[in-house]
């Protein structure tokens, strides 16, 4: 039942976002009592848990706040300079839900939960250094390979600029120290490879069945609205990543992974390391799509040579060593034709903090 899904989402985000949790708990009671939330959610009454209707509701309300059309509620939202007063939140939210019910319903009906986490560029950056160094060693090259980066499930493409970010690690800065995006990596340990050597990207591209065009106001607002409003670090990071995307646009093609990869991997490219990358994507693809993606990759792996190597680098939730935790977010690397298969580390869902290691991926 819908109100129960709202209560579940309220519990799930209580630690990370007290504001979202309070909003959703109050909205669940409002659903029970037939208040304005019911009008907003009229077309989502039979939603499945996987559609996370409550998070779509919270994002729609956030969007109205971001657009400056809910001044009383804005006073609670740190993303527009407010400061949450949880006890008074619903009193101010209810009026907004009532006044904007039709528009909120349209937003809830037409959006899926869509995020793009630039913090995941931290594991990507380190993983690329390791991959280029290992591929070079396997090919007998003295210098690391330049990279052709192919991202599936790229969303707004915000992780397609790993060479243009300043990565802060203790008192050191890797990557591009002048970047508007300064990523506090939260690293324990370091990846293999010479991190002071610039990463050379000679090609970049991404695909997503539901891409977000971050060159438009609508696309930017869409991604911003899905950040929980009291998560300031995540908000700042996303804003800086959008600024970076504005000066270095990379289009994301509307296509599922297998179709797009089939085109991109049709011919091996010499003197570059082709890297297929995805983060927190695989669980959203259907079983058929995953099988098709694996088949495309396997056939490209057969064609890879020491001079035209191929890598798969992924940051995805998997069962970890600690049985008390349901899963952890692991960085995994496969390299062809070198035949390497490594677990490079694990970290928080948004890519930071992150602990580097190097162990077989089995
Ligand atoms: C949680 S988001 C992660 C976005 C991005 N990779 C990141 O780490 O910020 C999951 C993304 O996977 C995309 N997706 C779902 N099914 C897909 C498929 N079959 N092929 C490629 N991407 C897919 C969704 O559209 C969505 O943008």
Per-residue model confidence as pLDDT tens digits over 66-88: 999 999 999 999 999 999 999 99
Residue 76's nearest CA partner among 99, 57, 58 is: 58
* Token couple for 225: 């609205």
Residue 121's nearest CA partner among 241, 242, 247 is: 241
pLDDT at 245: 98
For 261-310, write each residue's pLDDT tens digit: 999 999 999 999 999 999 999 988 999 999 999 999 999 999 999 999 99
Which of the four pLDDT bands, split at 50, 70 and 90, describes residue 322?
low
Which of the four pLDDT bands, split at 50, 70 and 90, describes residue 327?
confident
pLDDT at 274: 98
* Token couple for 287: 């079983």
Number of other CB atoms surrounding residue 164 within 10 Å: 20
Nearest CA to ligand 1 atom 14: 153
**Test site for ligand 1: of 284, 286, 292, 295, most ligand atoms within 8 A of the Cβ:** 284
Give the number of the atom of ligand 1 that is nearest the alpha carbon of residue 155. Answer: 27
pLDDT at 124: 98
- Within 13 A of 71's CA, how many CA atoms are on the CB side? 0
Residue 312's nearest CA partner among 336, 289, 328, 347 is: 336
pLDDT at 240: 98
* pLDDT surpasses 70 at 323: no
* pLDDT surpasses 70 at 231: yes
Nearest CA to ligand 1 atom 8: 279
For 334-354, write each residue's pLDDT tens digit: 999 999 999 999 999 999 999
User: Which own/partner contact pairs does 317-326 have at CB distance under 8 Å and 24+ positions apart?
Assistant: 317/280, 317/283, 317/349, 320/346
Give the number of the atom of ligand 1 that is nearest the alpha carbon of residue 289. Answer: 19
**Test site for ligand 1: of 153, 254, 264, 277, most ligand atoms within 8 A of the Cβ:** 153
Give residues (CB < 6 A) around ligand 1: 114-117, 120, 152-155, 208-210, 256-257, 279-281, 284-285, 289
What is the DSSP pairing of strand 252-254 with strand 354-360?
A: unpaired
- Tell me the C-alpha distance between 199 and 95, whole Å: 51
Average pLDDT rounded to a whole number, residues 230-252: 96
CB 144 within 8 A of CB 197: yes
* pLDDT surpasses 90 at 203: yes
């Amino acid at each position: 039942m819908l109100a129960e899904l709202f209560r579940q989402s309220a519990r799930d985000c209580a630690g990370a976002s007290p504001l979202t949790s309070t909003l959703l708990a109050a909205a669940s009671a409002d659903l029970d009592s037939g208040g304005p939330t019911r009008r907003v959610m009229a077309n989502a009454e039979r939603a499945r848990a996987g559609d996370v209707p409550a998070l779509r509701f919270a994002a729609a309300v956030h969007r109205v706040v971001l657009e400056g059309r809910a001044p009383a509620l804005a006073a609670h939202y740190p993303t527009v300079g407010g400061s949450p007063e949880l006890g008074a939140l619903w009193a101010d939210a209810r009026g907004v839900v009532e006044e904007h019910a039709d528009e909120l319903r349209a937003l809830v009906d037409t959006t899926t939960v869509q995020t793009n986490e630039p913090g995941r560029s931290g594991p990507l950056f380190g993983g690329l250094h390791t991959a280029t160094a290992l591929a070079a060693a396997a090919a007998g090259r003295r210098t690391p390979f330049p990279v052709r980066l192919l991202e599936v499930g790229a969303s707004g493409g915000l992780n397609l600029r790993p060479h243009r970010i300043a990565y802060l690690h203790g008192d050191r800065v890797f990557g591009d120290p002048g970047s508007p995006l300064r990523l506090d990596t939260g690293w324990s340990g370091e990846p293999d490879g010479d991190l002071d050597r610039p990463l050379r990207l000679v090609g970049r591209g991404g695909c997503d069945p539901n891409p977000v065009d971050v060159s438009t106001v609508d696309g930017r607002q869409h991604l911003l609205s899905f950040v929980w409003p009291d998560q300031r670090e995540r908000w700042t990071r996303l804003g800086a990543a959008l600024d970076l995307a504005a000066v270095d646009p990379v289009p994301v093609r509307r296509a599922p992974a297998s179709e797009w990869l089939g085109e991109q991997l049709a011919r091996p490219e010499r003197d570059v390391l082709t890297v297929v990358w995805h983060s927190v994507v695989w669980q959203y693809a259907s079983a058929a799509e995953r099988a098709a993606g694996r088949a495309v990759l396997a056939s490209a792996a057969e064609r890879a040579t020491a001079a035209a190597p191929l890598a798969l680098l992924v940051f995805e939730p998997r069962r970890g060593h600690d049985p008390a935790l349901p899963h952890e977010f692991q960085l995994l690397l496969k390299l062809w034709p070198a035949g390497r298969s490594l677990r490079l580390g694990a970290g928080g869902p948004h890519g930071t903090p992150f602990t580097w290691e190097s162990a077989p991926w089995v």
